[in-house]
Structure 1
Amino acid sequence: MPCRSAAVADSYRYAVRSVDAKGNAAAAVEITLRMADRPEAIPALGGANRWTGRRISTAVRQLTPAEVGTAVMRIADCNDFEPEEEHGPCPTDPLGIFLHGLLTMPDLFAAGGFRVTDTITGTVFVEPGCCNGLETWRDWLDVLDGTGRAHFGHDPSSTAERVGDTVRLTHDVHGTDGSPVTELPADQVRRLVADARQDLRDFLGLAGAWAEQHLPAHAAPVTAALARALDLASSP
């Protein structure tokens, strides 16, 4: 998560190594994370509404434990950086090493963002680019109630801009070949953002239940970290 499409394998292998305070790395240890046996692709989200504003490409409530676990581990992998010394000593067990960045980094990252698509024509008007993440989804609220403008990374450089009672969406402001542009009523954008926010909340609930079953020793801190990564720790 969050990808336009994804394939789920029955296990994932990671090579991890511990590093002491002097920067000396131990030998790599392989950790295998096993999921349910479900190799088929994650289904695409459908619906009768012409507009969708969800980057998460699955009906969240229908996610299997395998898909939830894959998403959790992808978010952990996004934050697999070497923490600073003040974040505490790195664990020595493979799973603890893998989760260490997620559990200790102050600013977490969840790759992706919200995509806005006209489901009749298939035209994409907002596509999260490089350096954009789900942790910044509240930028959409800033478009509606704050500065009135937000950028969603680059390559493409999608933007949303409040213009009176509408929101103008531009797929790539730096595009040279006629980038798609549309305007939606601000109230409709607000509903789309609310739906996407509920998707994130639903996923967090599923992820917490998954962690209790598969990562019982780490369930509470992992769930809290995911809430921070998805900017759901605060309300509303």
Structure 2
Amino acid sequence: MLIMDAVLETYKAADFTLWPVAEPPADHLVPLSGQLSSREVGTVMAILTEYNGSSRRGARAPQESLEQVRSLVAAGSVVAPGGLRIRDTTAGVTALPGCCFGLENWRDWGVLAGGEWPWLGHDPTPRVEHVGTIIRLWPDTDRQEGPPIDIPRAQMPELLGSVQEELVAFLSAVGRWAGHWFPTVSASLVEKLDEGLAISAPLPDSHS
């Protein structure tokens, strides 16, 4: 079975104290979905505000939590460390997101259905081959370890559709979290993430 999900790296959440956060998972990857607890959403928001807030632009670091969130809402763009993770549960193979190909670029995977070769980051460095109706994904060509993941080309829109569904549910979780902690900017925060991560706009290959 093939499972594709959107994951966020949690390294930036270390020692964060402006609001409650969860302990980072062992692999430092949080899957984004509507099932996140309030503390897990807090972890995600700690990461996103650290990457996209005023401190990242070299300005004064926010002294209060509301200012930290407002700095994300005011950011020109959204950078989200992580990306798409795909797992072949039958073969026991996982392809992790490569560096410098952030979650904000998740829709680029869609061109695989058309026979193209998108750049998917490095360290790990995935490589794609098109073999007939199969997209053959090698999780890390730098290390040459393990078998590839074979993805039926016709299944790619379905996989990306499942990612989008989870991301839309994640936005709802963010809305609930922000409605509790920062109600004055809740709607603006959800709108910013929706736009910056290109979440709810229709997928080109979606049949919904």
Q: TM-score range by the shorter chain?
A: 0.7 to 0.9
Q: What is the match of residue 42 of structure 2?
A: 69
- 1:154-177 per-residue CA deviation (whole Å, 9 max, x = no partner) reads 0111134444422111112333x4
Asked if structure 2 preserves the Cα contact closer than 8 Å seen for 1:43 and 1:57, the reply is no
Pairing 1:1-236 to 2, within 5 Å after superposition: 2-3=7-8, 12-13=16-17, 32-34=18-20, 57=31, 60-80=33-53, 81-82=56-57, 94-124=64-94, 126-145=95-114, 148-175=116-143, 177-178=144-145, 180-232=147-199, 234-236=201-203
Asked if structure 1 preserves the Cα contact closer than 8 Å seen for 2:111 and 2:117, the reply is yes
RMSD value over aligned CA atoms?
Answer: 3.4
Asked if structure 1 preserves the Cα contact closer than 8 Å seen for 2:93 and 2:149, the reply is no
Change (3 A) 1:93 1:41: closer
Task: Letter of the 2:134 partner, please give it.
Answer: T
Question: Unaligned 5+ residue runs, structure 2?
Answer: 1-5, 204-208
Q: TM-score, normalised by structure 2?
A: 0.75
- 1:103-155 per-residue CA deviation (whole Å, 9 max, x = no partner) reads 2222211111111122234222x22121121111101112113x611222101
- 1:44-63 per-residue CA deviation (whole Å, 9 max, x = no partner) reads 9xxxxxxxxxx7537x3332
| Displacement after TM superposition at 1:91 (Å) | 9.8
Higher RCO structure, 1 or 2 (CA under 8 Å, sep 6+): 2
Q: Supply the distance in 2 between the matched residues of 1:189 and 1:128 (Cα, whole angstroms).
A: 17
Percentage of matched positions with identical amino acids: 27
Larger radius of gyration between Structure 1 and Structure 2: 1
Q: TM-score, normalised by structure 1?
A: 0.67
User: Any idea what SS the aligned residue of 2:135 has?
Assistant: strand
Q: Supply the distance in 2 between the matched residues of 1:83 and 1:120 (Cα, whole angstroms).
A: 46
| Displacement after TM superposition at 1:99 (Å) | 2.8
Change (3 A) 1:57 1:75: same
Q: Supply the distance in 1 between the matched residues of 2:158 and 2:152 (Cα, whole angstroms).
A: 10
